[in-house]
Structure 1
Amino acid sequence: MAYLNSPRLTFSGKFQADPSTVNNDVEHYDNATFLPSYQDYGPSGTNGWWNPDGTGNWRLLDCVINSVTYKDGTSTADPAVDPIIGMSVMDANTRVAGKIVDLDPQQQSVSQIWGMVVRLGQAENFFLKGDFTPVGFNDIWWNRSMDLKGSPGAAATYQSVLTNLNWSIDGIDSRYLKELQAESPDQLSMKFNVDIFNQTVTDAHFTIGRLVGSIGPSSAAEPDHFTLGRQFVPDMVCQSGMYLPKTVGSYPLYMATALVREDTKQIVLDLGNCLKTKTKEGLMADDSDLKLAYNKGNGQYILLGDLPFHAPGWYETNAGLITLPLTDDQLAAVLEYPLTIVTQNNIGGISPLLAEKASYLRADQFVFRMNDGETDEINFYATYLGKPLAGKTVFCEIQDSLMNIMGQGNGTPTTATPAILAFDAQLNTDENGKAVMGIAASDPKNPRGYIDGQVYALWYYLEGEENTPFSFTVPADPKAAPIVLPATLSGVDPNNFISVLVFNSLSQEAIQNPQWEQDVQPVMQQYANLYPLMSKGIFNLADKTVVDSNAKILRFVFALPIDDPNHMPVTRDLSRDKQLMILNYLDTVIAETALQEGAITENVNQNNA
């Protein structure tokens, strides 16, 4: 089902992403060479980058429901028809905000949201509440904006599920909420796009950006983080070490997804991260006449309808979604042929701009943190024209050079990468187009020195795509000539790979009997360096006296699960072994303090006797 199905709503507003950026630079992880200036504000790549005092908070701000689509495919934007329109999409009101966290300084392009609660309603009253399952952003588009550069001009998408749903809809006569609860009572799908992010520290809207999104039904049988639908993948060109959508004619289009609804004879097309924008005006920027067509081959593009996106406020009201009705003949055709977004000139000539990738493979969860001896599973889904693709072989291999595409943080302590991930290099899809790959991690043996663990990129592809440009071997010698990336990619999404961070192991002696100076302090010092808001304003974790005197509260937050918004460290980059080491140290401090307090109490009682 997913967010493109119905009943669904669309909403728009703002978000706040307030990460600390001291840890964007790998050289800042070296305690021996860390300088106080690394906690000062500066442009990206200098000092503490653009937000060294960041809290890590992630918030939904002023998000308003603009339209609803009912199960039968009809829609309304009138609050007199459905009172949920005009109400808010909010985050938590009874606990701290969610957190925005990078996986690693050398993989900053899958920033995850942890601990976010989503509520629908007004002020303190909600009609629906759920927990947003943590996920990283995907399909980052670095040059979406026509008038902003760098991160402010970029866009990306988040898609996940809302679970642990709490419904309270008796007090509102909303057809949408009633249909949504009946259709999907236990789990919902949520997708949103983020862009126009403000990195100017002197601006009143610093750390604020634009957000539009949709919420719809979800099934446990489908993936959580993408839609089993029709996937449009542009040709890409390599510019300054990163891949950007190729300009066709005078205009580039990026990723898009469509869902063919056979029950209502409609196509729902998501252009939310597909079209360029003039961000200062907040409007879609293109004046071209875009249409949807299906491709019968040999240059035969049969038009299905116009894609109207030029009206003021269209993007915010519709969250980038367009619904096209289909005749019976059109429905039969789109189930047989791939889709294409095209333009048409004044004399009827058709130019294809963005084509559907007919055979498509995607890993559902694509960000993993692992420790020595741990195992996990990766769910792959293969489709052909949106339908399950059974009996196909999925290939997977390590390609660390993929990290270079994304333009990561400055410096590299070492490029040595021992192979410590065990997984099936080949597996087959079942009748549902699904393949499940087990993955096991072992100790990487500290290849990066002052940065814990190692990041790995798992590139995967379908049978018949063995010649994909990323199917190559990385030179074993870190001093070897760097790999020259292909200048162009045809139908390949360079973002579509799996990122795995495997942490180092510690000795059992360090874990069970930690000493402050040699074991605990270096970890706490690094955290104090990289997260100055904590060390300057709350607890200086590098100071033994401070840590010992706050051992109980620190033990509580260090023991919280990683998806709790109060989990420490906020950066989520503490290994299992280091967490156990710190907890054991704090337990020892707490026990010793209790003994001392008990002895003092006993002495006082004796003196008073």
Structure 2
Amino acid sequence: MIYVNQLGSVVWCILAVTQGIAGFDKAEWIRNASTHEPENSHSYLDWPRIHFSGTFWFDSPTGNNLCENYDIKTFDDRFRDDPSILGWNPEGSGCFQLLDCKVTSVCYTNGDCSTHRRTDRLIGTPVFSNVDRPEAKIADIDTAYIAVPTIFGLSLHVPGAFSGKFVEAPMSNSYHKTSKREHSGHLGADFYSLLVDVDWHGEDESHSHLVKEMKQLSLQNEVQNVLSVKFNLDNFEAFSKSGKFGTGRIVGSIGVAGPAEPLHGLRHRQMHPPSSNKRFGIANFRLFTTRGKILIDLGNSLPYNEQGFPDPDVTQTLQLAYPLHQPTQFLNCDTEVVILDEINYSSNLWYEDTAGIITVPSTTTLTFNQIKEVSERPLFIRQLNNISRECEMIVLSERLDGLAVGFMGDRVFRQDPGDSWKVDAFLVKFGHPFEGIPLEIETAKSVKKKHMYSRCGKGLHVPFNQPPTAVHFTDVANSNQNGIAVFEFVGYNPDNPREIIDGQIYLYEISVHGQDTLTSSLPIVIFLYNSFEVSPGGPTWHRDIYPIFKMYSNMFPSMNNIINMASYEDVCRKIWMLKMTMALSMDDPEFMPVTRDLSRRKQRAILQWLDDPKLGDIPKPSLEDLKRDLQTALELELSTIPHI
């Protein structure tokens, strides 16, 4: 295990070299999963599964939070001591690690769950991250869009059970989970992905009946030794003077990944909060017709108080229900309903023990008629007044038509001009694939309303998706018999619209043709880089490499403890270090740069230069450079004149 201070972590993060995920083909998994029916496919929202909870540590780098910091011509070394410039954690390394995590409960194939170690020896077992390898990394896609930080290079290890590598995944479903918290502590979010290259831990597995069940089920699948994992993060402490600085709570679930599972989500049913209620988040759920049960994941859906417990002042009594008659208009407290069960979440350990997953009904099973009606009517959760027991509001509800859209593979992309890629979307209606429906891609509503832009200083406000012609895509695609619609994308040179920051951000949403958007909470996000051409005769330090390395040196001062990226001499002395880390795949925890915001064209140019580190000529300053230098000199001169 690796428990080190932050400086030691930075050294370990930079110097150690590991292998990325070997033998797992994401494109092949998506193709195969797209041909399977999701109804009987396993996931973490199923039986068997385990739940775990504990603490996570994220050493967030904040030097790249301001657009202006990317400009090497105006950045001053004096800025390093100014928190308004480099943020609340300028020495951040981007490392992510689990601390003090353990298995809190297990749920067996027969539906029984237990929190007692005497029932299963797996309960209480530690859950570690990145054993014998450097810490995982979290990186935002861009300084102007921080809604999809992605985890790279994470592995999970449960001694006596299994270990596996987490397929890199973006954050999803962020909402205001806790109240009265400063900084970012009020936010909650989740990460879905697969654990691949799973290794079952020899004879020790015989001590846990749950592990035996998971292994046997996994070995029955066409692609074996793949698990499904989802964890929720909240209560992050970003106040540097706190003893818990950089830590937060993690609660999660792990089950077996079935053949129809997407990379980063569930292909089932969803309930959403009304747009006016920011204290609730999206809830996935599944109807198991043969069991007469519903599993609902409320782990990242309910409001919590400052102590991290479900907030009864906000939620009060909650009921799961469906309309007595097929609805034709929106659901409200006047809707005649069939009550399925009340949601018992009041215990202080409920969340940690269950990861927010509940079984409905809790003590009985659905009747034949209830199964039939739930299969074709929307589910919703009503909030009742604790005293009067009257309905006060609908806090979560499924769409009246039962439609849900998601992604079989990635929805967050880092692309170079000339790249082509696919977005594989799925469409389900009450949890079943919906065939023959035209889906279309459109610019995200937030972009259309001009709410999303890059803001660099006083004069440069560049809206997202500009120029629109830099991204070409299939406008409309029909869902096939498995509910899958495939969209083709091609990227072109955006021609440096943001001047000092590479590339441009593009956001898109998917809707049923002619209807409202279905993926507003999970947009397609594209970071499209600018074209990059090296100097004739090959890259040189002064013209091609220094502008890139200087920027990273400015924004990530922790790097300078290891290597001065702005120094030709120091870089040349440590070429071996850069060759090792910059040639790795992006999903490797030791890939450089940690921020993963370097285009592949620039990466290739750097690797080419490292093989032949030519110094080259210093470029002549442009007229604009001379004007800027003169302006800076005048400002410095005036600032030194004493006031009379």
| TM-score past 0.5 threshold | yes
1:461 matched to 2:511: yes
Q: Which residue of 1 aligns with 2:381?
A: 341
Residues 82-128 of structure 1 show CA distances to partners (whole Å, capped at 9, x for unaligned) of: 1111102211121100001000001111000000011112xxxx531
Q: Which residue of 1 aligns with 2:406?
A: 362
1:85-124 matches, cutoff 5 A? 85-121=123-159
How far apart are residue 159 of structure 1 and its match? 0.6
Q: Name which of 209, 214, 228 aligns with 1:175.
A: 209
Which whole-Å CA distance do the structure 2 matches of 1:168 and 1:568 have between them? 32
The answer on whether the counterparts of 2:446 and 2:452 sit within 8 Å (CA) in structure 1 is: no
1:9-408 matches, cutoff 5 A? 9-40=50-81, 42=83, 46-121=84-159, 126-141=160-175, 143-172=176-205, 173-184=207-218, 185-237=224-276, 245=277, 252-280=279-307, 282-286=309-313, 288-295=316-323, 296-297=325-326, 299-325=335-361, 326-328=365-367, 329-344=369-384, 349-350=390-391, 351-357=393-399, 358-364=402-408, 365-399=410-444, 401-402=446-447
Q: Name which of 542, 552, 569 aligns with 1:517.
A: 542
Which whole-Å CA distance do the structure 2 matches of 1:348 and 1:513 have between them? 75
Residues 405-435 of structure 1 show CA distances to partners (whole Å, capped at 9, x for unaligned) of: 5798765845261221121010011111111
Which whole-Å CA distance do the structure 1 matches of 2:78 and 2:257 have between them? 48
The answer on whether the counterparts of 1:395 and 1:427 sit within 8 Å (CA) in structure 2 is: yes
SS in 2 for 1:225: coil
How far apart are residue 401 of structure 1 and its match? 4.2
Unaligned segments of structure 2, at least 5 residues: 1-41, 219-223, 328-334, 616-644
The answer on whether the counterparts of 1:169 and 1:178 sit within 8 Å (CA) in structure 2 is: no
For 2:209, give the aligned amino acid.
Answer: R
SS in 2 for 1:193: strand
How far apart are residue 70 of structure 1 and its match? 1.1
How far apart are residue 300 of structure 1 and its match? 1.9
Greater mean deviation of Cα atoms: 260-269 or 206-215: 260-269
Q: Which residue of 1 aligns with 2:629?
A: none
The answer on whether the counterparts of 1:28 and 1:38 sit within 8 Å (CA) in structure 2 is: no
The answer on whether the counterparts of 1:114 and 1:563 sit within 8 Å (CA) in structure 2 is: yes
1:531 matched to 2:571: no
How far apart are residue 590 of structure 1 and its match? 10
The answer on whether the counterparts of 2:164 and 2:195 sit within 8 Å (CA) in structure 1 is: yes
Q: Which residue of 2 aligns with 1:486?
A: none
- Distance change (3 Å), C-alpha of 1:282 and 1:399: closer
How far apart are residue 37 of structure 1 and its match? 4.6
1:580-591 matches, cutoff 5 A? 580-589=604-613
For 1:354, give the aligned amino acid.
Answer: L
- Distance change (3 Å), C-alpha of 1:410 and 1:157: farther
How far apart are residue 464 of structure 1 and its match? 4.5
- % same residue: 32
Which whole-Å CA distance do the structure 1 matches of 2:312 and 2:247 have between them? 21
Greater mean deviation of Cα atoms: 524-533 or 29-38: 29-38
Q: Which residue of 1 aligns with 2:462?
A: 415
SS in 2 for 1:432: coil
How far apart are residue 583 of structure 1 and its match? 0.7
Which whole-Å CA distance do the structure 2 matches of 1:165 and 1:383 have between them? 30
1:6 matched to 2:40: no
SS in 2 for 1:277: coil
Q: Which residue of 1 aligns with 2:564?
A: 540
- Distance change (3 Å), C-alpha of 1:313 and 1:8: same
The answer on whether the counterparts of 1:414 and 1:447 sit within 8 Å (CA) in structure 2 is: no
SS in 2 for 1:14: strand
The answer on whether the counterparts of 1:363 and 1:498 sit within 8 Å (CA) in structure 2 is: no
SS in 1 for 2:441: strand
The answer on whether the counterparts of 1:455 and 1:502 sit within 8 Å (CA) in structure 2 is: yes
The answer on whether the counterparts of 1:72 and 1:264 sit within 8 Å (CA) in structure 2 is: no
SS in 2 for 1:521: helix
How far apart are residue 313 of structure 1 and its match? 1.1
SS in 2 for 1:171: helix
The answer on whether the counterparts of 2:303 and 2:310 sit within 8 Å (CA) in structure 1 is: no
- Distance change (3 Å), C-alpha of 1:5 and 1:92: same
How far apart are residue 266 of structure 1 and its match? 1.1
Which whole-Å CA distance do the structure 1 matches of 2:244 and 2:454 have between them? 26
Residues 33-57 of structure 1 show CA distances to partners (whole Å, capped at 9, x for unaligned) of: 1133543363xxx221111110110
SS in 2 for 1:557: helix
For 1:47, give the aligned amino acid.
Answer: I
The answer on whether the counterparts of 1:26 and 1:413 sit within 8 Å (CA) in structure 2 is: no
For 2:191, give the aligned amino acid.
Answer: Y
TM-score by length of 2: 0.81
- Distance change (3 Å), C-alpha of 1:22 and 1:38: farther
Which whole-Å CA distance do the structure 2 matches of 1:349 and 1:284 have between them? 19
Which whole-Å CA distance do the structure 1 matches of 2:310 and 2:531 have between them? 50
For 1:363, give the aligned amino acid.
Answer: F
Greater mean deviation of Cα atoms: 421-430 or 293-302: 293-302
Greater mean deviation of Cα atoms: 320-329 or 443-452: 320-329
Which whole-Å CA distance do the structure 1 matches of 2:455 and 2:125 have between them? 40
Residues 64-85 of structure 1 show CA distances to partners (whole Å, capped at 9, x for unaligned) of: 1111111121211111111111
For 2:381, give the aligned amino acid.
Answer: I
How far apart are residue 232 of structure 1 and its match? 0.9
How far apart are residue 518 of structure 1 and its match? 1.2
How far apart are residue 130 of structure 1 and its match? 0.7
Which whole-Å CA distance do the structure 1 matches of 2:567 and 2:259 have between them? 47
For 1:70, give the aligned amino acid.
Answer: Y
How far apart are residue 493 of structure 1 and its match? 5.9
For 1:257, give the aligned amino acid.
Answer: N
Residues 261-314 of structure 1 show CA distances to partners (whole Å, capped at 9, x for unaligned) of: 223221111111111111235454446110100123452211000100001211
- Distance change (3 Å), C-alpha of 1:302 and 1:148: same
Which whole-Å CA distance do the structure 2 matches of 1:406 and 1:505 have between them? 23
Q: Name which of 507, 517, 521 aligns with 1:495.
A: 521
The answer on whether the counterparts of 1:396 and 1:459 sit within 8 Å (CA) in structure 2 is: yes
SS in 1 for 2:204: coil
Residues 474-502 of structure 1 show CA distances to partners (whole Å, capped at 9, x for unaligned) of: xxxxxxxxxxxxxxxxxx66422111001
How far apart are residue 369 of structure 1 and its match? 0.4
Unaligned segments of structure 1, at least 5 residues: 238-244, 247-251, 469-491, 592-609
Over aligned residues, Cα RMSD in angstroms? Answer: 2.3
The answer on whether the counterparts of 1:424 and 1:437 sit within 8 Å (CA) in structure 2 is: yes
SS in 1 for 2:481: coil
Aligned length: 546
The answer on whether the counterparts of 1:27 and 1:413 sit within 8 Å (CA) in structure 2 is: no
For 1:205, give the aligned amino acid.
Answer: K
- Distance change (3 Å), C-alpha of 1:78 and 1:406: farther
For 1:541, give the aligned amino acid.
Answer: M
TM-score by length of 1: 0.85
SS in 2 for 1:459: strand
The answer on whether the counterparts of 2:131 and 2:157 sit within 8 Å (CA) in structure 1 is: no
For 2:406, give the aligned amino acid.
Answer: R
- Distance change (3 Å), C-alpha of 1:41 and 1:78: farther
